[in-house]
A = this chain, B = another copy of it.
Amino acid sequence: MSVTDELLANAERYAAGFDKGDLPLPPAKQVAVVACMDARLNPYGVLGLAEGDAHVIRNAGGVVTPDERRSLAISQRLLGTREIILIHHTDCGMLTFTDEEFRTAVQQDTGVRPDWSAEAFTDLEDDVRQSIARIQADPSIPHKDAVRGFVYEVETGRLREVKR
């Protein structure tokens, strides 16, 4: 049995106990979270989110790229969110390599050099600030008064705010 099959068995159990079929499309708490994809960071657990509460956007690093700006623009303009919470975390994989190394390795293995940046970074807090700056600079995202950035500590479970 594949891991996917194992998780599908979990999904059947979830459906059997499901009682949330009437939740509206817009997030109840009017908040969007942008977080790293890291397996140890569970935004539902950390922030106490339940089904219906918040948009959750995630990628490698929790960095703001054009796709996160697209998602945030749709979240705010069409679905009413007003606050943004950015979460990077300690011991992040993005701290362990450089863009150049990653793209060169892909090129050596496949013959094709990626035409995108790997978005690696060397300083967690600086990259949170850079992600906030990218949001602030994007006219497609209308609500910017409540954009706050955090580092999640995988060692302690704590969330600490990044000072601007």
A residues near B (Cβ < 8 Å) are 2-4, 6-8, 10-11, 13-15, 17-18, 20-21, 23, 25-32, 37-42, 44-60, 65-71, 73-75, 77-79, 83, 85, 91, 93-94, 96-97, 102, 105-106, 109-112, 114, 116-119, 139-140, 142, 146, 148, 154-159
Assembly CA distance A31 to B36 (angstroms): 15
Docked complex Cα distance between A39 and B80 (Å):
12
Which of B23, B74, B114, B148 sits near A102, CB closer than 8 Å? B74
- Bound Cα distance A51, B57 (Å): 17
**Total copies of the chain:** 2
Shortest distance from the beta carbon of A131 to any chain B beta carbon, whole Å: 13
A112 to B66, CA, bound (A): 15
Give the docked Cα–Cα distance between A54 and B12 (Å).
19
Q: Pick the contact of A78: B31, B93, B116, B158 (CB < 8 A).
A: B93
Could you say which of B11, B41, B51, B114 contacts A40, with CB atoms under 8 Å apart?
A: B51
A157 to B18, Cβ gap below 8 A? yes
Contact between A53 and B69, CB atoms less than 8 A apart:
no
B79 touches A47 (CB 8 A): no
